């Protein structure tokens, strides 16, 4: 992997990540293909809406269809039929979120949510599984704050961070062994990101950033921050410590435009989040004036597109009234058309942010967009009544 910074102002930057499956122009929103699919969308639709890369989940693929099958298919990109860059997360967040998961120095023991089978995942297991999945970019097996414990106390945070750092060392060692095997087989090397944790504790965040900055990772994931407010507090601290010449990914972020602007402002290069398609399946759709709930009665006779400024397939061809009809009728197409719009909206917004950085007007673009998005009444969808 190669990372090139094209323009930078403070922590805000635009660049380019080069992988064996192509380039990622950053900042970039990476589509969440949790089970080797972006929910309700075909690969052709993912490509048409402009997604440069996808991220799959190691835990889910380990259970279904099994990483050995994906390896025999030639890796995640070939298995999906998606000839573009791919990421995998480690599966740590998912395994440790399961009821009854047992965390130890060695790793995690959990039960499959599918058949109840008892499974052990160690840092070495996660690396092996990710190499079999064959994505271009992997994440270290980490221990998020609060998992395996009854609270998010200081003691719990310290314990989780020790495990994260110990496991990262083991991931790095195993990853190196597996890459040397790739060399012998004349296969492309794969890339490993360390995952910075630390919870809400500033000194732990700093310690984690310093730990990962001092080791030879190819890039960095930032974990355990799930609001824009947390990002404003910790991203400047972390990203001033991490090496500037390596890429940074904010794990699980991008549910709202403000998340994306905060991330980019403070040095994030790539994002992933399931929210755009999840919200779409529930009828919650992005517009320049804020999110709307397409199920509301006001849209029954509304023949305008979801967003008049949007160039996605759905907005070019269908009206709000048609989308509402599909949802009310229980038609599967509703989820597809809504997901195309939401995913395009977020992917395209980050592309516009990149253009603004390269044009030296990031701040102006940010302020103008957020004023329109958060200033509209339709952004307050929770208070609307359904009919």
158 and 258 share a domain? Answer: yes
170 and 205 share a domain? Answer: yes
- Contact (Cβ atoms closer than 8 angstroms) between residue 215 and residue 242: no
Residue 146's pLDDT band (boundaries 50, 70, 90)? low
19 and 166 share a domain? Answer: yes
- CATH number, domain of 260, equals 3.20.20.105
Instruction: Give the number of domains in the chain.
Output: 2
pLDDT of 18 > 80? The answer is yes
200 and 245 share a domain? Answer: yes
207 and 316 share a domain? Answer: no
- Dump pLDDT digits (tens) for 324-350: 999 999 999 999 999 999 999 999 999
166 and 90 share a domain? Answer: yes
Residue 76: exposed, middle, or buried by beta-carbon count in 10 A (0-12, 13-18, 19+)?
buried
- Contact (Cβ atoms closer than 8 angstroms) between residue 249 and residue 87: yes
264 and 290 share a domain? Answer: no
Question: Lowest mean pLDDT: which of 153-157, 330-334, 360-364?
Answer: 153-157
- For tokens 């930032």, the residue is 222
267 and 333 share a domain? Answer: no
266 and 288 share a domain? Answer: no
Among 136, 269, 272, 307, the one annotated catalytic: 272
Of 213, 248, 273, the one marking the end of a domain is: 273
Among 89, 125, 136, 307, the one annotated catalytic: 89
Of 273, 294, 322, the one marking the end of a domain is: 273
- Dump pLDDT digits (tens) for 292-302: 999 999 999 99
Predicted pLDDT of residue 152: 63
- Dump pLDDT digits (tens) for 181-225: 999 999 889 999 999 999 889 999 999 999 999 999 999 999 988
330 and 240 share a domain? Answer: no
What DSSP letter does each residue of 250-262 carry, written as one string? ETT--SSHHHHHH
Cross-strand pairs, 335: none
Residue 113: exposed, middle, or buried by beta-carbon count in 10 A (0-12, 13-18, 19+)?
middle
Sign of torsion over alpha carbons 342, 373, 376, 302 = negative
pLDDT of 382 > 70? The answer is no
Distance (Å, whole) CA 343 – CA 306: 13
325 and 233 share a domain? Answer: no
- Contact (Cβ atoms closer than 8 angstroms) between residue 56 and residue 39: no
260 and 290 share a domain? Answer: no
Our answer to whether residue 89 is catalytic in this structure is yes
Our answer to whether residue 142 is catalytic in this structure is no
Average predicted confidence (pLDDT) for the chain: 93
Query: Secondary structure of the chain: what % helix, strand, coil (to 5)?
Result: 45, 20, 35
Q: What is the pTM of this model?
A: 0.94
Average pLDDT over residues 92-107: 88
Q: Report the candidate in 193, 215, 2, 178 with the shortest Cα–Cα distance to residue 89.
A: 193
**Residue 265 structural domain:** 2-273
Structure tokens given for 190? 């794969």
Query: 228 or 283: which carries more pLDDT confidence?
Result: 283
Of 211, 245, 273, the one marking the end of a domain is: 273
- Dump pLDDT digits (tens) for 261-276: 999 999 999 999 999 9
Helix ranges (H only) for 185-252 are 202-213, 228-241
């Amino acid at each position: 992997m190669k990372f090139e910074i094209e323009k930078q102002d403070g922590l805000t930057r635009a660049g380019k990540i080069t992988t064996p499956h192509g380039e990622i122009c950053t900042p970039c929103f990476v589509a969440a293909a949790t089970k080797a699919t972006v929910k309700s969308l075909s690969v052709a639709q993912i490509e048409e809406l402009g997604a440069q890369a996808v991220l799959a989940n190691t835990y889910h693929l380990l259970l279904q269809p099994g990483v050995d099958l994906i390896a025999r298919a030639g890796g995640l990109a070939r298995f999906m039929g998606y000839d573009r860059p791919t990421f995998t997360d480690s599966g740590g967040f998912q395994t440790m979120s399961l009821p009854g998961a047992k965390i130890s120095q060695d790793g995690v023991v959990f039960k499959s949510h599918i058949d109840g089978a008892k499974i052990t995942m160690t840092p070495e297991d996660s690396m092996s599984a990710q190499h079999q999945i064959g994505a271009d970019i992997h994440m270290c097996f980490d221990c998020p704050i609060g998992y395996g414990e009854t609270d998010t106390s200081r003691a719990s945070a310290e314990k989780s961070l020790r495990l994260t750092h110990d496991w990262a060392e083991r991931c790095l060692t195993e990853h190196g062994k597996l890459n040397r095997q790739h060399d012998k087989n004349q296969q492309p090397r794969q890339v490993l990101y360390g995952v910075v944790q630390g919870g809400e504790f500033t000194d732990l965040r700093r310690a984690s950033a310093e730990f990962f900055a001092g080791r030879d990772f190819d890039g960095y994931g930032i974990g355990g921050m799930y609001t824009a407010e947390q990002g404003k507090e910790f991203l400047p601290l972390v990203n001033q410590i991490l090496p500037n010449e390596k890429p940074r990914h904010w794990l699980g972020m991008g549910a709202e435009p403000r998340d994306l602007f905060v991330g980019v402002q403070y040095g994030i290069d790539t994002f992933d989040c399931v929210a755009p398609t999840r919200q779409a399946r529930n009828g919650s759709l992005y517009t320049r004036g804020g999110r709307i709930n397409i199920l509301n009665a006001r849209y029954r006779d509304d023949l305008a597109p979801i967003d008049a400024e949007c160039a996605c397939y759905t907005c070019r061809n269908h009206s709000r009234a048609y989308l509402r009809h599909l949802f009310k009728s229980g038609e599967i197409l509703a989820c597809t058309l809504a997901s195309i719009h939401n995913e395009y909206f977020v992917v395209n917004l980050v592309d516009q942010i990149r253009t603004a950085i390269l044009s030296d007007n990031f701040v102006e673009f940010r302020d103008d967009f957020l004023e329109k998005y958060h200033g509209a009444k339709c952004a307050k969808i929770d208070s609307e009544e359904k009919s």
